[in-house]
Amino acid sequence: DMPALQQYVAAAMSARDDGVARRAITLWLGPPATRAERVESVFRGDRSTIIYPAVSAAISRQRTDLLDRVLGKPLHGRFLKEGVRHVPLFDGCFHRWLPRQIAGYAEMLTDLAAEQLADTRERAGAVRRMGRLPGVGAATVRPFLADATGSVVDAALATLAWTDRPDRVIAELLAYADGDRAKIGRAHV
């Protein structure tokens, strides 16, 4: 409620120090009454601001119209160098998204999970997030059961129980009950 202070915060978003800029972006997006309008200007100014929770949360929950500029497009800028792939961590917002936006995010997650040169934790995390998307079926997750990396296989097995029709994968989960992955299969049946 202090316009002069908000002007200083807005100016600080372009500070040379990334930490100062990040904090300014977070503060500037703080007031709920202006967040939707402000997040568009922040994101339009630099697409790489999507790495900050305040920006990704505002886009995924309030300004879902901006998702089309996020999904499947390079997000490089000041905070993400060109050539670096970033898949934002969206959660608890998918009921607000259009089916094509969910499909676009599922494609981003699938591409990351299939990228053999990507960090194993990121790949496994992408597989786990797939199961939380509405409408994502076991067919999307199932290919990762044959991955060469154990943690990705474990993530795929655990994720099967969270897909859109978990009743259809019970037999599949039970098939792992006596093998090396028994703890994963039993935990999700």
Q: Phi/psi at 18 (nearest 5 deg)?
A: -60, -35
Q: Is 29 exposed, middle or buried (0-12, 13-18, 19+ CB in 10 A)?
A: buried
Q: Is 1 exposed, middle or buried (0-12, 13-18, 19+ CB in 10 A)?
A: exposed
* pLDDT given for residue 185 in this prediction: 46
Determine the Cα–Cα distance for residues 185 and 180; give it in Å rounded to an integer. Answer: 10
* pLDDT given for residue 189 in this prediction: 43
Per-residue pLDDT tens over the stretch 33-47: 999 999 999 999 999
- Model confidence at 20, pLDDT cuts 50, 70, 90, reads very high
Per-residue pLDDT tens over the stretch 124-158: 999 999 988 998 889 999 999 999 999 999 999 99
Half-sphere CA count of 123, side-chain side, radius 13 A: 18
Q: Which pTM does this prediction carry? A: 0.85
* pLDDT given for residue 131 in this prediction: 85
One-letter identity of residue 34? T
**169 touches 184 (CB < 8 A):** no
Per-residue pLDDT tens over the stretch 79-104: 999 988 899 989 889 999 999 999 99
* pLDDT given for residue 45 in this prediction: 92
Determine the Cα–Cα distance for residues 66 and 52; give it in Å rounded to an integer. Answer: 15
